[in-house]
Amino acid sequence: MNGPKVKVCAAHVAPVYMDAAASVETACRLIAEAAARGCDLIAFPESFVPGFPLWPAVSAPIHNHALFEAFVAQSVRVPGPEVFQLCQAARAGGIIVSIGISEASGASVGCIWNTNLLIGRDGSILNHHRKLVPTFFEKMVWASGDGAGVRVVETDAGRIGMLICGENTNPLARYAMIAEGEQLHISSYPPVWPTHDPRANDAYDLASAVRIRAGAHAFEAKVFNVVASSIVDERTLQVLEPLGSAALDVIRNSPRAPSMILNPQGTVIAETCETKGELLTAEIDLQDCVVPKQFHDLSGYYNRFDIFRFSVDRRRLAPIEFAGADAASSSLSYDMLEAEQARPDAAE
């Protein structure tokens, strides 16, 4: 399908930091608000539930055990009650939802993933993507993901793909989206990503990096790109206050991430103020993805499939396999989620 006109929304907002239940409540309220505005899709930032782990960037690992333990406790299972609540909100609003979570595991009490979920209008989980490689200091928190969620999903709002933060720099991950006919891309980011002392001449400019990545993928893939970044609010700073004033100064003064929406020519058509929370919306026409393909169609004529070979392993990786178990799937219907919550032991 070439696709209809759809209204998209990037939630440039802060979670209730380190509180999964309250962050989910915030997300559900904003899902309802976006639906009331007539949006077909809302995209939330990276690790919105329960917030992005900033402490490994500004404090030595030996001082971070308590924060890691608290973060694991606030990470959520898929499926699980918090995710089901998000699915109910999507179903009630008839809106597609992309949201970043820190995902807990039944295989380990300390293994978590940086995950993005795509939830359909009917409340089903359309895609469950774990970030392939935690970036830089994120390795102190999250495990590496797998290829099960490296996919484009067909919806009535277009063919949707999604990548998390630094994955939008990975040319092979991006090409996997392009080669499956992506029309609408979702890029999720944290509020700030400290890599240097912000007073240094070589300080990392996150806003510039986001614009480069977003523009590059929109232009190369000939897709619309919805970029959702979070913000640092006072609660975040209060929770991280035990790290000390020097650490907080780095967080306060490091460049912020913007949220934006770009067209298939790589042009920004809507952008937020980086420090102000808002729902950024734009109406897009997926038909606009067609003509730019005349110039460079990387999944069509502008490629040499006789020269280049590329494959993606979509197995869901696990520490153990059980004979006779059903094959892993990246999709869960709303009925399956509802049944899971109805089990007597679901809350355990």
- Catalytic annotation, residues: 46, 131, 165
Q: Is the dihedral of CA 68, 73, 78, 84 positive or negative?
A: negative
Look at the block and give the residue holding tokens 């990503």: 193
Look at the block and give the residue holding tokens 């990276």: 46
Q: Three-state DSSP class for 226? A: strand
Q: Three-state DSSP class for 142? A: coil
CA atoms within 13 A on the CB side of 27: 37
Per the structure block, which two tokens stand in for 17? 């930091």
> What's the angle, vertex CA 43, arms to CA 41 and CA 47, rounded to 5?
150
Beta bridge partners of 34: none
> What's the angle, vertex CA 327, arms to CA 322 and CA 330, rounded to 5?
125
Q: Three-state DSSP class for 94? A: coil
Beta bridge partners of 225: 185, 262
Nearest to 299 by CA among 147, 164, 183: 183
DSSP E strands: which ranges in the chain?
5-12, 41-43, 96-104, 112-119, 125-130, 153-155, 158-164, 184-189, 224-229, 260-262, 268-271, 278-285
Residue 169 phi/psi, 5-degree rounding, is: -100, -15
DSSP states of 44-74: --TTTBT----HHHHS-GGG-HHHHHHHHHT
